[in-house]
Amino acid sequence: MFIVCVDMQSKIPKPMDIEKAHPLTFARIGDGTVNSLGTALAQELIRFNNLLKVVSSSLVELTRGIKGLVVMSSALEKMFNSFLIQKVW
């Protein structure tokens, strides 16, 4: 089980960097506003980056729980059991 957590941690992508987007993606139009696609994309990138942080920290805590370094909370135990039976909860 420990190996599965470590493997999943290694596969988590790095957070997306808005600064590396194409310049036209978040370009301002004539009246100074960003186009609606750029606005929606920026919001979704923020949400996705937050999700990556939560998944990464959860896997770290689960790994520590499996090693016995921290007490397994009910949420970590549910995650552990879901890994065992390969079920999304």
In a domain? residue 3: no
HSE-up of 82 (CA within 13 Å, CB side)?
A: 12
pLDDT digits (tens, 9 = 90+) for 31-78: 888 888 888 999 999 999 999 999 999 999 999 999 999 998 998 899
**Which range marks the domain in which residue 59 is found?**
33-89
In a domain? residue 71: yes
CA distance from start to end of the chain: 17
Q: Is the pLDDT of residue 28 over 90?
A: no
In a domain? residue 6: no
In a domain? residue 61: yes
In a domain? residue 26: no
Q: Is the pLDDT of residue 1 over 80?
A: no
Q: Is the pLDDT of residue 2 over 90?
A: no
More confident residue, 47 or 79: 47
In a domain? residue 62: yes
Q: Is the pLDDT of residue 29 over 90?
A: no
DSSP state of 19: G
> What is the per-residue pLDDT for 54?
94
- Give phi and psi for 43, each to the nearest 5: -65, -40
Instruction: Give the chain's domain count.
Output: 1
In a domain? residue 70: yes
In a domain? residue 45: yes
